[in-house]
Chain A
């Protein structure tokens, strides 16, 4: 039951991030990447099953824990992924700001500094 609810939330977050990522504004792209990362973390969280109030501890007399506990490994994976995505998100924010300072725009359609200059001999689509 909980898994279904979470699956819907994850699906909604993915849809939302795809919507943001399809935009041409750098700020929305940064936010889209951020939401996508969080959706992924929740997805992995759900993949480890959701069970409350049953710690994954192995009793002294047993070799394995009693079945039914939530798998703690995905939570460790998410912790790693959160740290990585947080640092990369910080980099993207700085990069977006620097791009705005240097290139004077946040519209990805106007970012053509690294593309070949549209000379008279090779007209490109947007210049015709």
Chain B
């Protein structure tokens, strides 16, 4: 018998960002019916998770990837949580934005929503997202997908209005289909390699012949994760559902869920399939191109402000996957920076759209008008967030596109470069149109006056949260060096995953030698 592998204390760091939200969720369930207590637990839980994620990231940054084998079972027999710069960095970004959204939700959720379990569900969702970012095992990734899926089902129907049920039907069926495809792909991959650890898979898949079977599995991964990420032609569930729940729920979905899909695509196509699977890569190029352009066109055509935001989220997914499809280190740097940018900006835009619905009458862009007068702060925040979304220079959205365009030109991927620029141009038209119609044009004389600050309800909290994210996107635009450094290192780690593999499989070396 071998001694159980006892991880050193640093390895415990990787557990907390996953465990803390789960603990908080269970506490919040225990406080069922006590809205205030649940809100407090929610904020403290996510704040603690953010703190632990920062500690984890600091450790990973200075000491390299951290591995923790669950239950002391060494890899590849057991399941390991693994934090590298990419996973830990995204956990920090996701956790920070989740904290802001939880604060926003204080002004957004009435007692009725809190009674129905808003906070436990959000905490479980955040735990699932952190688990997906930090797992080193591909079946475990599927389980975290299901954790986020189950919590998101609960969140999307919270309130039970007609259009929510309608959106939830489409959301639930298509996402369940996507996770089933993911399970098929994982099952086939296990049948071919006999392992589930991503580090172990990386070496074993490389030894397999690059034949039709491998291609099929790679395409199954592309279809299932592409559906999660909202990639053309599988994105139609997103604009059909994301505008129906509470604005805070829309914000957290848009900020986190599609990014988990993109994260998994990056992980699978760079670590599990470092080469080969050419048909899947080729398909990815065209899917990314179509996603960014069609998403932007959809945003331009949309008349509901929250559906408009949904389409801009879709367009952003295309830009991120374009970086993965180009695949050079500079392109990945752009893609990872864009993921961070998109986490912030998707949440900010959905928050702003929620405030628009509160300040004006409804969410129809063509009926709303003159909100600049009643809600100047909202108008400015929406404009700044919109400019960052387009990729105008002083904002955070500018830098990833610069890197992507540079990388695309260097790699000769001219179609994707043209796509990124066209999508940016179309997004500019769409943001300009929405801003001009909703905020800028004068309200007709018979229109009801915009609700005053007090009637908008929860004013300060909602505006504060929106302001914080807008400030963040400006700050990262003016001082992008930290994110660029992190993304550069994450990209180089992903492109040469050998140190990651050695660290993960090295855990196995501590125990009995492998058969």
* Partner-B contacts on A (CB < 8 A): 21, 26, 29, 33, 36-37, 40, 43-44, 46-48, 63-64, 71, 73-74, 77, 80-81, 84-85, 87-88, 91-92, 95-96, 98-99, 102-103, 108, 111-116, 122
The reply to whether the CB of B515 lies closer than 8 angstroms to some CB of chain A is: yes
Cβ-defined contact, A114 with B166, below 8 A: yes
Interchain residue pairs with CB less than 8 A apart (15)? A29-B173, A40-B184, A44-B190, A47-B190, A64-B515, A80-B143, A88-B149, A92-B176, A95-B169, A98-B160, A98-B165, A99-B166, A111-B166, A113-B165, A116-B304
Q: Beyond A43-B184, A47-B191, A77-B190, is A95–B157 a contact (Cβ under 8 Å)?
A: yes
Cβ-defined contact, B172 with A103, below 8 A: no
How many angstroms between the C-alpha atoms of A111 and B146 in the bound complex?
A: 26
Cβ-defined contact, A113 with B163, below 8 A: yes
By the criterion of a CB under 8 Å from any partner CB, how many residues of chain B are at the interface? Answer: 40
How many angstroms between the C-alpha atoms of A85 and B146 in the bound complex?
A: 9
Given contacts A40-B183, A44-B187, 12 further A-B contacts (CB under 8 A): A33-B176, A33-B177, A43-B187, A47-B190, A47-B191, A73-B196, A88-B150, A88-B176, A91-B153, A112-B166, A116-B303, A122-B303
Cβ-defined contact, A113 with B304, below 8 A: no
Among B163, B170, B188, max chain A CB count under 10 A is at B163
Cβ-defined contact, A99 with B165, below 8 A: yes
Residues of B contacting A: mostly: helix
B209 to chain A, nearest CB (A): 18
A96 to chain B, nearest CB (A): 8
Q: Which 3 pairs across A and B sit closest by C-beta, in order of nearness?
A: A47-B191, A44-B187, A113-B166
Number of A-B residue pairs, CB cutoff 8 Å, is 102
Residues of A near B304 (CB, < 8 A) are 116
Among B149, B170, B187, B244, max chain A CB count under 10 A is at B187
Residues of A near B243 (CB, < 8 A) are 114
Cβ-defined contact, A92 with B166, below 8 A: no
Cβ-defined contact, B166 with A81, below 8 A: no
Chain B window 141-184, contacts with chain A (Cβ cutoff 8 Å), 1 for yes, 0 for no:
00100100110010001001011111111101100110010011
How many angstroms between the C-alpha atoms of A48 and B188 in the bound complex?
A: 10
Cβ-defined contact, A116 with B307, below 8 A: yes
How many angstroms between the C-alpha atoms of A21 and B163 in the bound complex?
A: 22
Cβ-defined contact, A44 with B183, below 8 A: yes
How many angstroms between the C-alpha atoms of A108 and B188 in the bound complex?
A: 32
How many angstroms between the C-alpha atoms of A111 and B173 in the bound complex?
A: 14
Q: Which residue of chain A has the shortest Cβ distance to B188 in the bound complex?
A: A47
Q: Which residue of chain A has the shortest Cβ distance to B145 in the bound complex?
A: A84
How many angstroms between the C-alpha atoms of A63 and B2 in the bound complex?
A: 12
From B160, B172, B515, A91 is in contact (CB under 8 Å) with B172
Residues of A near B395 (CB, < 8 A) are none
Q: Which of B178-228 contact A (CB under 8 A)?
A: 180, 183-184, 187-188, 190-191, 194, 196
Cβ-defined contact, B515 with A63, below 8 A: yes
Residues of A near B184 (CB, < 8 A) are 40, 43
Cβ-defined contact, A84 with B146, below 8 A: yes
The reply to whether the CB of B322 lies closer than 8 angstroms to some CB of chain A is: no
A107 to chain B, nearest CB (A): 11
Q: Which residue of chain B has the shortest Cβ distance to A58 in the bound complex?
A: B515
The reply to whether the CB of B139 lies closer than 8 angstroms to some CB of chain A is: yes
A16 to chain B, nearest CB (A): 14
Q: Beyond A87-B150, A91-B150, A116-B304, is A102–B240 a contact (Cβ under 8 Å)?
A: no
